[in-house]
Amino acid sequence: MRIRTQNTGRLAADRMKSPSAATTLTPLYPPHIPMSSSLLSVTATATASSILSLATGKNDTGDGGGDGDHKYQDQTKGQRDLLTQVIVSSAFGLLAFMGFCFLRPKWRELYAARRRLRTAASRLPQLPDTLFGWIPIVHKISDDEVLASAGLDAFVFLSFYKYALKFLSIVFFFALAVILPIHYIYTNKYGYPWDVPDDAKDDPQKPKADPTYLWMHVVFAYVFTGVGIYFLVDQTNKIIQIRQQYLGGQTTMTDRTIRLSGIPPELRSEEKIKDFIEQLEIGKVDQVMLCQDWRELDGLMEARKNILQNLEEAWTKHVGYRWKRPDSRGNALPLVRTDPMQASFDSSENNERSRLLSNDESARAHVSSYELKRPMIRIWYGPLNLRHKRIDAIDFYEEKLRQLDEKIEEIRSKECEPTPLAFVTMESTAACQMAVQAILDPWPMQLVANLAPAPADVVWQHTYLSRRSRMLRGWSITLLIGVLTVFWSVLLIPLAYLLNLETIEQVIPNLADFLSRHSIAKSLVQTGLPTLILSLLTVAVPFIYNWLANLQGMTSQGDVELSLISKNFFFTFFNLFLVFTVFATASNFYRLFENLRDVLRDTTTIALALASSLETLAPFYTNLIVLQGLGLFPFRLLEFGSVFLYPFQRLSAHTPRDYADLGKPPVFSYGLALPQTILIFIITIVYSVFPSSYIVCLFGLIYFAIGRFIYKYQLLYAMDHQQHSTGRAWPMICSRVILGFIVFQLAIIGTLALRTAVTRSVLVVPLLAGTVWFSYFFSRTYDPLMKFIALRSVDRSRVAVDHDETPTPTSTMSPPSQWDRDAVHLRFRGRDLASKLKKYVNPNLVVPLDEPWIPGRGSSLGVTNTIDAAADIMEVADNRDDNNGARSNGNRNRRNLRHPPS
C-alpha cells in the first residue's frame, strides 16, 4: 500500500509537469481492491493537486486549445476563466465594500435610515463610526434580536441562509473528503481545470471500463437528500414554534380580524354581517368595516396631491427657496430658504382643514415683500380651448385646491355602493382563528373567511374589485407571463451561443477566429459577459413582474410580495436554469432543433440533454455564483441603485416636500431578493456529486455567508420593509428547495443513464418517488401551521388591545410585534410617530387635508406636523368609537371616522 501511495504522488507530480500524460493514465485501483484502504492515502494528494491546479490555472489538455477533435476551445476547457472571474469579481466587490465602509458614517440618512426612523430598530446596538468596527457588532446580533427588531419576515428570510450554510457545509466536507478522492482514483480527474465529460470523447453507449465509482452517485443522492430534508424539517419546526409563540400571544386588531369576501347582496350591511357571524356561535364581534366603492374619492385625493405639488412649486419659485445640505451628523433634512423674511400668510397650526388663505390674507396676497415675482400660468378656455390668458399661478392652484377640498368633504359625508368585502374584528384571537379555519357557508365562493392583513398593508384600491374582475386580472396576467416566458427563452438562446466557440463559428466565424487567438478576450466573452447579462436579467426582469403582481388585484401588499416571489422564481428557474442549460451546448442545440418533433414527443430527450449539459456548464454556473457572491453582493450593501439615482432625484427636487422625500429609506423587497438566492442553492444541490462539486460548494458557502451578513445589516439598519406576511414565505421556500432535490435526482438519473449504468439509475427512482411524496406530505402537514395559529397556542389570558395604551412587555418579541402588527411606527427627530392608520378604514376617508409645505413657515411646516395631525385625527376617531361602545351601530362608527372634528 505504501508503494501505491508513492506511485500516486509520483504520477500526480508527473501529471502536473506533463499535462498530456493525463490522457494515458489508467485507474490505479482496480475494482477488486477495497476502496476504503486507499481512500485516505489519496485524499491529501488529490486535494493538493486540485488546489495547485486552481491556483495555476493549468489544464489537462494543455495550453494549445483543446484536443484534435475540436477546432475551437470552448468554456468547458478554458484555463483562466474561473481565475479571471474570481479576480475581477473580488476586485469590484472589495472596491464596493471599502466604499461602503468609508461612506457609512458620512451618509447615515441612507445607510442607517431604518434605525433612525423605526421604533423597533432603535433597540438595536449603536454602530461605531470606525471603518470596520461595525462588522463584529452586526455579526453578534442574535436571532431573537432580529425577530424583535425586523419581524418574522426578516427572520424567515435569514433562516434560509442559515439552513443553506448548514447543508452546504456538510456537502462541502463530503465533496472534499470523499467525492474528490474517489473521482481522482477512478478517473484521474479532480474537477478543475474543467474536465471534459467522458461522453464528449467516447460514445455514450459504450460501457466504461471501470464504472464502480458510479455507485457513489447513488449513495450520495440518498445521503444529500436525507441530510437536506432533515435540516429542512428541523428548521421548519423551529420557525413554526417561534411563529406560534410570536403570534399566539398577540391581541391586536390585526390578529383578531378576518377578511370576509363573497358577501351576497342581501348581507351587505354591517349590522347583518355582525348578526351572521355571531349566529355561528364562534365568538362575539367587536366591529365590522364593510368596504365601499370609493373610486371617486381616491381620484379626487390623487388630483389634490398633484395640485398641492404644483402649489408648493409655485411658492418655492416665489420665495426663492434653496436647499441646505444636512449637518454632519446627518440627523435631519433642514428646510430653509434664502430670504429671511416670513411668508406672506399665516395659518393656525391646530386646524389642519382650514382654508389656505383667509379673506383678509387673500386681499393682500399680492402685496409681497419677496423680490422675486409671483409665478404666472397660462390657461386655455373658449371654444375648443383656443383662447388663453396668463394668471397668477399661486392664486389659481389655491382656488383649485379649495374646490377639491369641498368636493372631498362632500364625498366623505355620503354613503357609497357597498362591495362584497368586509373586515370583521372579533373580540378574541381564538374566535378569529376558528372563523378562518372553518367553512362558513354551504355555497361555493360565498362568505369565505381569510386572515386579514394589517391595516397599513391593505391595498384599498383593490377592495372595490369584484371577484370576477379579480379572477380576470389573475388569468390575464398569468397568460401574459406565459408569453413573456417564451420571449425570455428566445432571448436567452443567443446568449447561450457565447458559451461555445463551435456555436459562434456557425453564426459569426470571424468572431470565433478572433476569440480563439486571444485567450483573455475569449475568457471575458465566454465567462464574464454571459454571467453579467444573466445577472442583469435577474435584476431587471423582476421589476416587470413586480408591476404585473401589483395589477393582479390582491388586497394586501403581503400577498403581492408572495406572488412576486413565485413569479420571479419561475423566471429564474425555468428561463435562467432549465432553458439555458438545455440549449447552452452546441451538440444539444443542434440535436434538439434538428429533431424538434421527436423532442416534443419524447420528454426523456430533454432529461438526457439536461444531464449531459450540466457537466459541461459547471464552469458557467460556478462563475455565476462567484460573480453574484463576490462581485454583486457588496454592491447591494453599498445600495448602488440609490446612490446612483440620488443625483438625478436631487436635480428634480424643488420643494421642501421633494427634499424630505430624498431622506426616505429604500424599500427592501423579498420578492426581488429571494428567488435568485433559491436558484443559487438549487445549483449547488445539483452539482453536489459532480467532479467539481467541491468548487461549486465552496463558492456557494462564500455566497451564502456574505449574503446573510449583508442582508442582515440591510434588514436591521438600512432598508425599510413594510409588508406583514408573518413568515408565510417559508412554505414557498421549502417547496422550491424540495424541487431542487427533485432536479438533483433527475440529473443523477440522467447522468447514470448516459453512462449506461441502468441499474444504478433505476435505484435512484425510489428516492425520486419518495421525495415527491414528501413534498405532498410536507404541504399537507406543515403549511397550515405556517398559515394559521393553533388554538392551543393562543394566549387566552391576554386582553385585546387597540394600541390605545402602551403594551406591556411579556417577552423579547412582544413589544415590537404589538406595535408593528397594526401600524408602522416611525421615529422622526427622536419622536415616535404613527404614520399609518390603526383601524380598518380607507386612509382617504380620514387623512387630514394638509397644507402646502411652504419655505419659511418654521415649525408649522414639515413632516412632523403632517404626521402629528394624522395621529391626532385617528385618536379623536378612536375616542369617539370608545364613547359609542365597542359594539355600537357600524354605520355610526364609520361616520365618526369620516368626520373628525375640525
Torsion angles phi and psi, residue 851, rounded to 5: -80, 165
Concatenate the DSSP letters of all residues of 206-265 into one string: SPPS-GGGGHHHHHHHHHHHHHHHHHHHHHHHHHHHHHHHHHHT--STGGGEEEEE---G
Please write the tens of the pLDDT for every residue from 641-661: 888 888 888 888 888 888 888
* Torsion sign, CA atoms 183, 186, 192, 197: negative
Instruction: Check whether 828 has a pLDDT greater than 80.
Output: no
Label residue 436 by pLDDT band (50, 70, 90).
Answer: very high
Separation CA 338–CA 617 (nearest Å): 62
Please write the tens of the pLDDT for every residue from 195-224: 444 444 444 444 344 577 788 899 999 999
At 331 the pLDDT is 43
Label residue 799 by pLDDT band (50, 70, 90).
Answer: low
Q: Is 509 helix (H, G, I), strand (E, B) or coil?
A: helix
At 80 the pLDDT is 55
Residue 813 near residue 148, CB atoms below 8 Å: yes
Q: Is 286 helix (H, G, I), strand (E, B) or coil?
A: strand
At 758 the pLDDT is 85
Q: Please count the other Cβ atoms lying within 10 Å of the Cβ belonging to residue 577.
A: 19
Cis status of the peptide bond prior to 265, with omega within 30 of 0: no
Instruction: Enter the pTM of the model.
Output: 0.77
Q: Please count the other Cβ atoms lying within 10 Å of the Cβ belonging to residue 26.
A: 8
**Range in 25-39, 147-161, 705-719 the model is least confident about:** 25-39
At 782 the pLDDT is 94
Instruction: Check whether 580 has a pLDDT greater than 70.
Output: yes
Q: Is 165 helix (H, G, I), strand (E, B) or coil?
A: helix
Residue 834: which H helix or E strand, with range?
strand 831-834
Assigned C-alpha cell, 568: 420571479
**Range in 15-19, 28-32, 118-122, 316-320 the model is least confident about:** 28-32
At 682 the pLDDT is 95
Please write the tens of the pLDDT for every residue from 608-620: 666 777 877 888 8
Instruction: Check whether 249 has a pLDDT greater than 60.
Output: yes
Cα 862 to Cα 149, 319, 655, distances in angstroms: 27, 17, 11
> What mean pLDDT is predicted for residues 400-414?
92
> What mean pLDDT is predicted for residues 483-493?
82
Q: Which residue has the higher pLDDT, 194 or 791?
A: 791
**pLDDT-above-90 percentage for the chain:** 30
**Range in 204-208, 763-767, 805-809 the model is least confident about:** 805-809
At 890 the pLDDT is 41
Separation CA 785–CA 731 (nearest Å): 10
Residue 73 near residue 513, CB atoms below 8 Å: no
At 576 the pLDDT is 81
Residue 593 near residue 49, CB atoms below 8 Å: no
At 78 the pLDDT is 45
Q: Is 471 helix (H, G, I), strand (E, B) or coil?
A: helix
Torsion angles phi and psi, residue 59, rounded to 5: -125, 150
Label residue 94 by pLDDT band (50, 70, 90).
Answer: very high
Label residue 27 by pLDDT band (50, 70, 90).
Answer: very low
Amino acid at 854: I
Separation CA 253–CA 251 (nearest Å): 7
Residues 6+ apart with CB under 8 A from 189: 22, 60, 183, 195, 691
Instruction: Check whether 132 has a pLDDT greater than 80.
Output: yes
Instruction: Check whether 736 has a pLDDT greater than 90.
Output: yes
Assigned C-alpha cell, 470: 379579480
Please write the tens of the pLDDT for every residue from 361-397: 333 334 445 557 888 888 888 888 888 888 888 899 9
Concatenate the DSSP letters of all residues of 419-447 into one string: EEEEEEEESSHHHHHHHHTS---SSTTSS
Label residue 850 by pLDDT band (50, 70, 90).
Answer: confident
Class of domain 263-294+416-446: alpha beta
At 30 the pLDDT is 37
Instruction: Check whether 5 has a pLDDT greater than 50.
Output: no
Label residue 164 by pLDDT band (50, 70, 90).
Answer: very high
> What mean pLDDT is predicted for residues 694-717?
94
b/e 512-526 (16+ beta carbons within 10 angstroms → b):
beebbeebeebbbbb
Label residue 520 by pLDDT band (50, 70, 90).
Answer: confident
List the beta bridge partners of residue 418. Answer: 292
Separation CA 13–CA 343 (nearest Å): 85
Amino acid at 584: A
Average pLDDT over all residues of the chain: 74
> What mean pLDDT is predicted for residues 694-715?
94
**Range in 45-49, 275-279, 507-511, 624-628 the model is least confident about:** 45-49
* Domain assignments of the chain as residue spans, ordered by start: 75-248+466-787, 263-294+416-446, 295-414+817-898
Q: What angle do CA 459, 156, 435 make, to 5 degrees?
A: 55
At 584 the pLDDT is 61
Amino acid at 123: R
Instruction: Check whether 47 has a pLDDT greater than 60.
Output: no
Q: What angle do CA 701, 703, 704 make, to 5 degrees?
A: 70
Please write the tens of the pLDDT for every residue from 456-479: 889 999 998 888 888 899 899 999
> What mean pLDDT is predicted for residues 286-312?
92
Label residue 891 by pLDDT band (50, 70, 90).
Answer: very low
Q: What angle do CA 775, 780, 781 make, to 5 degrees?
A: 100
Label residue 502 by pLDDT band (50, 70, 90).
Answer: low
Instruction: Check whether 899 has a pLDDT greater than 70.
Output: no
Q: Which of 786, 814, 779 is nearest to 725 (CA)?
A: 786
